[in-house]
Amino acid sequence: MTWAQQTALGYGLLGFLVIWGTVVIPQLLSQYARFGRVLPRRLAGTAAVTLYACLALAVVFLPLPGPGTAPLEQVVQPVPFQWVSDVGIELTKHDQPASEALFTQTFQQLAMNVLLFVPLGLFGRARWKLGVVAATLLGFGLSLLVEICQVTANFGTAPFAYRIFDVDDLMANTLGALLGWIVAALALALLSSAGAPAAGRATWPARGDQPRPWQPAGPVVAGRAAVPHAGLPTRPLRSRP
């Protein structure tokens, strides 16, 4: 992780503390008004989404170019899978074997772009109940918006474009959202199967610790068991003379 990325994460964490400190009190009051109590899961979910948004925006846009920052020579990278060639170039430049490919800065940057959008896919499935196509399109759309923002110098608010519009970044971000959705779907399926009640009829313990199906004590009449009369004792009817 570069110094710039560490600095961006620090600003993102600071931004989260400021924003969360501002919205947590109104959220607590709203939960008390609506439900009469605090809902920890909703509170934690809102905190997680806010933290992710702050860190992601900080990593994408910070640090801003300073007075001594030189403009980029290339602002658009339109070739898919260009990162493969860049890994080879970096290995050759530092005279490293192919086994070191995973430790190159190019590959680590690609991996970070994938991981950056994994939480988005997780939230899409677990919190927003999106399908796999919707979650993937959401990741693609947000990544495309970020790339357009970068190539236009934050829509003209920055002095020049200081980040590259990279097709590989677009692909990596979309893949990250898809992987996050898959992980969340698998986790929810495992939790659902582990907590599902056993299906079938009720059983009673029998001799030898072997359960046996429950059977009614008497004959079933109109869908329920007939129970002997428990009131006054009955006597036989006498025939009239």
| Ordered per-residue pLDDT tens for the chain, 241 residues | 678 888 899 999 999 999 999 989 999 999 889 888 989 988 999 999 999 999 999 999 988 888 888 888 889 999 999 999 999 999 999 999 999 999 999 999 999 999 999 999 999 999 999 999 999 999 999 999 999 999 999 988 888 899 999 999 999 999 999 999 999 999 999 988 887 654 444 444 544 445 555 555 555 544 454 445 555 555 555 545 5
For the residues of 162-212, what is the DSSP string, one character each? -S-EEHHHHHHHHHHHHHHHHHHHHHHHHHHHHHPPPPS--EE--GGG--E
In this structure, which amino acid lies at residue 74?
Answer: Q
- Separation of alpha carbons 58 and 12, rounded Å: 5
pLDDT at position 128, please?
92
